[in-house]
Amino acid sequence: MTPEIKKKLQSCLSLPTPTPIAVQIITLANEPEIDLHRFIGILNCDPALASKILRTANSSLYSYPKKIGNLHQAVMVLGLNATISLALSFSLMKSLQTNRASGLDYALYWKRALIAGTACRVLGATCGFTEIEELYLASLLQDLGMLALDQVFLDLYNHPELDQTCHASIISQEDQCLRVNHAAVGSWLLTQWNFPDRLRLAVTGSDDPSRIPPQDARARFAYCVSLSGKIAEIFLRKSHDDYLQTIKEKAYAWLNLSPDELMEVLETTQGLLPETEKIFQTDLQTWTEPQAILEQARESLLLRSLQSLKEVQELQSNTAAMEAQFQNLEETHRHDPLTGTLTRAYLDQYLETSFEQALAKEECLTLVFGDLDTFKSVNDTYGHQAGDSVLQSTARLLLSQVRTTDMVGRYGGEEFVLILPKTSSTAAEIVCERILDAFRNTTHAIAKNQHIKVTISLGVATHTPDHPYSNITDLLLAADKAVYHSKSHGRNRYTFYDRIQIEQPV
């Protein structure tokens, strides 16, 4: 998360915050030994919260044979840690709800949260987890960052073409506008609230848990939370297309769930939704009839047997191995041997492709031309070997400041080109400021115990549907003119080509 966004979040007075009761429970949960009577005393301070705990303990979620009449009995039946997680779930759901009119569809947001929480409870039981209520809490909070971003960036979710029933579409919108998604923001919030590491990690990986190393003991917990959100989307989407097949593959890859087991999770979740509605006193009516959803899911999920899926995966594995060998041969031609960035030949090809895609999809495309300042003096003073070391560290710096979807290529000598797809001028300005700060605060090792500082000048040109360029050559030429302007006006700065036009028409 960028310092700029973090600063805006910290200064936002309407940011979601836990209730005083929730703060007390979080503090209690972090203590080495929890005082049972003190915890029950906290619950008794909020009759509505205590009532929800009792209602849950007596619900079909647990099917306890005898009626539970007081909180002490509820804690004994549910377990202390489970009751703490439940209490936080109910308390936070109450405090985080808002009626502020904005771009975010709050009704849809809470539907997804509650369906995901229910699905995560079922997934946890299916996969043999013991911390079911902790999973439930993590799943309810996995999209918490959306509430925060909606308070700070009022028009973020207000795009007319944004489909909020499709989470991938939401993440793409966040990444395009802010270059950060709500999972990172939610994790940051939980850090401020002093939540345990496992819950924060689950929220961090909720959009893409593959970034969590499989050997991490908390990985399966995060996989379960992420899959619950994707299952909730099954009940909320207006159109499923190939989505069900994608969920089937993720369920098997992440939690080793067969299509039959996944189908059972969907059916059990559907059966528990009325109970969730009662506990939270809300309406979870979905876009499509639940039975129709289950029928469509059954047809899709059971279309191929698990054995067939294994055979396909073996075939894919063999194909991937062959492709990897072929790709290794191509790597030597694609990447500059000194810096590891794209070679000039492959860069030219990639520029053409990126520009054609931007035209076809009517999207933004930004090029940033970077030229190291006074680089010739580095070679003259310290030698070409030192110059090569600076070029290598320059490439690492540039790559560290861009997304995985962006590309960095060596244009020639000490010149580099950054290709930033789906990036507006505003977003590009943030990237440029980060790059300049990184170079200003970095020393380059050129020999043992010898470091030097080198700055960079940047030139930026952005193609947009409203202000298009006719071809990639013109766009590249504009970025080149912009970097020349930076070099001739003091270096160690960035210049946007369109702003040169305003200052001095060409």
Domains and CATH numbers, the chain: 3-303 (1.10.3210.10), 344-503 (3.30.70.270)
Contact indicator for 339, 394 with CB cutoff of 8 Å: yes
> What are the tokens at 408?
């960095």
pLDDT computed for residue 506 by the predictor? 41
**What is the enclosing helix (H) or strand (E) of 370?**
strand 365-372
Residues of the chain with pLDDT under 70: 98-102, 239-241, 284-315, 318-332, 501-506
* pTM of structure: 0.58
> What are the tokens at 55?
């209602």
Q: How far apart are CA 352 and CA 356, in angstroms?
A: 6
Q: Is 410 helix (H, G, I), strand (E, B) or coil?
A: strand
Q: Are strands 494-496 and 456-463 parallel, antiparallel or unpaired?
A: parallel
> What are the tokens at 11?
């200064």
Residue 391 Cα to chain centre, angstroms = 31
Q: How far apart are CA 453 and CA 386, in angstroms?
A: 12
Q: How far apart are CA 344 and CA 118, in angstroms?
A: 52
Contact indicator for 73, 293 with CB cutoff of 8 Å: no
What letter does residue 362 receive in the DSSP assignment? T
> What are the tokens at 36?
């049972």
Catalytic option among 134, 174, 233, 414? 414
Instruction: Identify whether 314 is a catalytic site residue.
Output: no
Nearest to 447 by CA among 396, 381, 400: 381
pLDDT computed for residue 306 by the predictor? 47
| Residues near 227 by beta carbon (within 8 Å), at least 6 away in sequence | 119, 120, 123, 247, 250, 251, 254, 255
pLDDT computed for residue 19 by the predictor? 82
| Residues near 349 by beta carbon (within 8 Å), at least 6 away in sequence | none
Positive or negative: CA dihedral 8, 10, 11, 15: positive
Alpha helix (H) ranges present in 105-193? 106-126, 132-141, 144-152, 167-178, 182-192
